[in-house]
Amino acid sequence: MANLKEVKQRITSVISTQQITKAMKMVSAAKLRRAQDKIIQMRPFSQKLTAILNNVSAASEGATDLVYAQKREVKKVLLIPITSDKGLCGAFNSNVMKATNLAIREHFAGADITIMPIGKKSLEYFKKTNYPRIEGFSTLFLDLSSDNIRAAANYAMDAFAAGEFDQVFLIFNEFKNVATQFVRTEQFLPMEAVATEEVKVDTDYILEPSREFIIEELVPKALRTQFLKAILESNASEHGARMTAMDKATENAGDLLKELKLMYNRTRQAAITNEILEIVAGANALGGK
């Protein structure tokens, strides 16, 4: 059985850890509210923009002649795994890594894979692999501004348009609620065909200045919006995952404290009992003389 000093040190250590996890939970909760508001506001805009693009394209002929919709033989693939900069958020980061490795094994076997990590954890992980990396956007979450996100999206779009890559995929956590996040592997480029035979448009559109101009304006905006949505989804998911992890860690620390305090009391009681027995034994020994 551990002595009183060791048990007391463990109790002090667990109390300090519990205070840290509780504070981290509160910080994540505050950040989550802001991140959740952003993604909730972003989703309707993204859906509406896509709907407008689909409707305008379906109402026109030749909507699939876009550079961002060109389908080529898949030889070179760009994967963009989106993680956090910090840990202590459960399986949030490891799930993205697993999904990336699974996609490489099952869907891109034989293709030349390039990784564009976003988030320090993603960069640290893929530094240990032999895949070529584009590291210029790994610190995106240090300054999560629309300009920086647009620059990352533009890089992927320009590289695809120039023929450097045949496909581009985003791998990120999609936010559902505080306790639930789903890993998504989403095709970013080439974009899905916006006009199909099944699309029926009942509205006659008058397009000014021209269909080509509107499509050329809407498509890059829609792609950048898709990229921004993935970043915001991941950001909200990170804070939700960290809040859940820290809440569970705080509960576990509380349970451990109960066990340690019980152990401390038992150890203290045993020590007092031993002292009493020694005193009684000493008194009996003196009385026997």
Find the helix or strand (DSSP H, E) in which 62 lies: none
Q: For residue 221, how many other CB atoms are within 10 A of its CB?
A: 12
Tell me the β-bridge partners of 189. Answer: 168
Q: Catalytic residue at 89?
A: yes
Q: Strands of 76-81's sheet, edge to edge? A: 112-115, 76-81, 167-177, 180-189
Cα distance between residue 64 and residue 190, in whole Å = 11
66 closest CA partner among 228, 213, 225: 213
Cα distance between residue 67 and residue 216, in whole Å = 10
Tell me the β-bridge partners of 183. Answer: 173
User: To which residue do tokens 């505080």 refer?
Assistant: 178
Which position among 89, 183, 230, 249 bears the catalytic label? 89
- Positions annotated as catalytic residues are 89
